[in-house]
Structure 1
Amino acid sequence: MIYLDFALRSGAVTLLMLLAALLWHAPIGWVGRLSVLALAISKSAYLIILMALPLELNSGLEASLTLLSSFTPAAITWLIVSVFIDAPGRRWPWITASVATSFALYGRLAFPYSSSYSLPMATALYASLFMLALWSNRDDLVEWRCRARPGFAVAVAGLGLFLTVGQATGVLQQDTVLLALVQSASALAVILAFAVWLLRPDADRWPNDASLASYPLLPTHDEVADPVLIARIRDVMAAGIWREERLTIGALATKLAVPEHRLRRAINQGLGYRNFSNFINHARIKAACAALTDPDKMSVTVLEIAYDVGFASIGPFNRTFRAEIGQSPSEYRQLAQPGVFADSDKSSSFSANLR
């Protein structure tokens, strides 16, 4: 059984390195390439140091592998948020939590007899990633991501959660051949499935880096989706349906009497958005900017404008406004008043964010 574990781990490490090498030259942007490379290196190191077959490693190499393997939670988190979270700013809380978990894991691997919070922290992290992969599906407009979320959640986050809970509860005892075989066999199966899914030539698994810079996130391709449905979407948006608080993709599909998957495809492929909230909020912020610069509405408060364009409270409105425009609503109103801009180039550059 020890040699079976060795064979499984060797296969998993080889496959990880091959996948990283193939994707390094793929047109997926640096975030995608680096996240896969980080996972390949850290997971390979993890598989090597926990091998059931005793290895005669010098102290320097063993210390290096231990350090690299401890960053497996961070690498897994980076991969998941890179795939499923478009806005870079929303990824950092997840990455920060995963790095803290990795440091705790390093303490446990480097000093086995010291007290460590790594297992509870890893359990909480993987459980949260599992919920992220499933829960955020409600706002996603990219079809392949919607289909992939359940399997991705179970395979990547679910596996990590199973192993950490098993060790934390004592079901999988540390330093046993059973644990080693479970780790190696499950890792090889997940890596193989992930490689087959990721290398399919009919879909781009990550957005290009440039597509995250502004809204809309993708170029428009009206010919790809149903042109009649796209026209209906534009009509209801022009009529102001985006003013409704807590408008969801399901609610909009009901109003248009179309299946939800068709509506997702039309907004994504026809109008160029990867996220429903971005699609709705873009219209809301554009209307808010018009209201903030309207001379007849200078007495209207920012809070009243936020409510009028469909936000339920001032906090989300301020965050969304700053994310898209680069300034707070109050700063925008002040700077957009006549006479504030000394040169027209600055004014034109500032207004370009509305388009």
Structure 2
Amino acid sequence: MIYLDLALRGGAVTILMLLALLLWRAPINLEGRLSVSALALSESAFLVITAALPLDLHPALLSNFTLLASFTPAATTWLIVTIFLDAPGQRWPWLIASLVTSIALYTHEAFPSLFSVCLPMSVVLYGALVILSLWSSRDDLVECRCRARPGFAAAIAGLALFLTAGQATGLLQEDGIILALLQATGTLVVSLAFAVWLLRPDANLWPGETTPDIDSRLPIHDEFADPALIASIKSAMTAGIWREEGLTIGALAGKLAVPEHRLRRAINQGLGFRNFSSFINRARIEAACAALTAPTQMNATVLEIAYDVGFASVGPFNRAFRAEIGYSPTEYRRITQTGASADSEKLAPIAANLH
């Protein structure tokens, strides 16, 4: 059983290392490559130091492997939010929480009593990642990601949740052969499935920069374009459907009397948006920019403008506005009113891109 564990771990480490190397030749962005490489390194180190048969490693090497292994929660989180959250601003809370968990795991090597705290932290983190993988699908327009979410959640975060919860509840003994075999087998199977999914030549899996224009942009993929549906979408947007507070893709599909999957494909493949929020917010921010600079609305507050363009509160409006424009609504109004700041020159290409 011990040698089976070693064989499984060796296979998993080999696949993880090959996957990390091959992705550096794939047409994906730098963050995608780095996140996969970080997970491959940390998980490989974890597999080495938790083998059922303790390996005779030099103390310095063992210390480095332990440090790398401790950052498995952070690396796992980084990969998941990189794939499933397109907006960088949405990733930071997850990354900070995962780093705190990883630091706590590393610290417990010096203070073993902290282990009883580290495990619940890991359970909560992985459980939240499973929920994130599934819940964020409501806003996702990329079909291949939507289909992969349940399996991805179960494979990556679900496996980690199962193993850490088993340890936290005492069902799996930390030094037991059963836990070791589950770790090795689970990682090997997940690594194989993950490699098959990631190595497909589909750069659309990963977040990327887009500069779509819902009024004039030609379809990205003609074979997926539905001219009649795209025309209906543009007509609805021109009529101001985006002003409806809490508008979802399901609600829009109902109003257009089309299946939700067809609407997702049309907005993604035909108009170039990766998630529904960015599609709706583009129109809202364009209207907000016009209102903030309109002489007739100089007395209107930022909150009033936020409500008028469809936001439920000023917080989400400020975040969406800053993500799109690079300034807060108040800063944007001040810059455009004075017209003397050098920053006003930066706003010209941004405003042109919105229209």
TM-score, normalising length: structure 1: 0.93
1:18-97 map, 5 Å: 18-97=18-97
Residue 150 (structure 1) aligned with residue 150 (structure 2): yes
Residue 221 (structure 1) aligned with residue 220 (structure 2): yes
Change (3 A) 1:314 1:113: closer
CA contact (8 A) 1:325 1:354 kept: no
Residue 171 (structure 1) aligned with residue 155 (structure 2): no
Partner in structure 2 of residue 319 of structure 1: 319
Partner in structure 1 of residue 114 of structure 2: 115
Partner in structure 1 of residue 190 of structure 2: 190
CA distance in structure 2 between the aligned counterparts of 1:54 and 1:341, rounded to whole angstroms: 65
CA contact (8 A) 1:39 1:79 kept: yes
CA contact (8 A) 1:216 1:273 kept: no
CA contact (8 A) 2:142 2:204 kept: no
Pairwise CA distance, 1:311: 1.1
Of stretches 98-107 and 72-81 in structure 1, the one that deviates more from structure 2 is 98-107
Pairwise CA distance, 1:337: 2.4
Pairwise CA distance, 1:62: 0.8
Pairwise CA distance, 1:61: 1.0
Of stretches 79-88 and 221-230 in structure 1, the one that deviates more from structure 2 is 221-230
CA contact (8 A) 2:46 2:66 kept: yes
Change (3 A) 1:344 1:167: closer
1:240-251 map, 5 Å: 240-251=240-251
Residue 334 (structure 1) aligned with residue 334 (structure 2): yes
Structure 1 alignment gaps of length 5 or more: none
Pairwise CA distance, 1:21: 0.9
RMSD after superposition: 2.1
Q: Give secondary structure in 2 for the equivalent of 1:144.
A: helix
Of stretches 55-64 and 161-170 in structure 1, the one that deviates more from structure 2 is 55-64
CA distance in structure 1 between the aligned counterparts of 2:275 and 2:144, rounded to whole angstroms: 13
Letter in structure 1 aligned against 2:9: R
TM-score, normalising length: structure 2: 0.93
CA distance in structure 2 between the aligned counterparts of 1:352 and 1:146, rounded to whole angstroms: 32
Q: Give secondary structure in 2 for the equivalent of 1:27.
A: coil
What per-residue deviation string (whole Å, max 9, x for no partner) do you get for residues 117-148 of structure 1? 21011011001100000000000010011100
Change (3 A) 1:203 1:222: closer
Partner in structure 2 of residue 290 of structure 1: 290
CA contact (8 A) 2:73 2:98 kept: yes
CA distance in structure 2 between the aligned counterparts of 1:113 and 1:290, rounded to whole angstroms: 59
Change (3 A) 1:297 1:266: same
Pairwise CA distance, 1:203: 5.7
Q: Give secondary structure in 1 for the equivalent of 2:200.
A: coil
Structure 2 alignment gaps of length 5 or more: none
Percent of aligned pairs with the same amino acid:
66
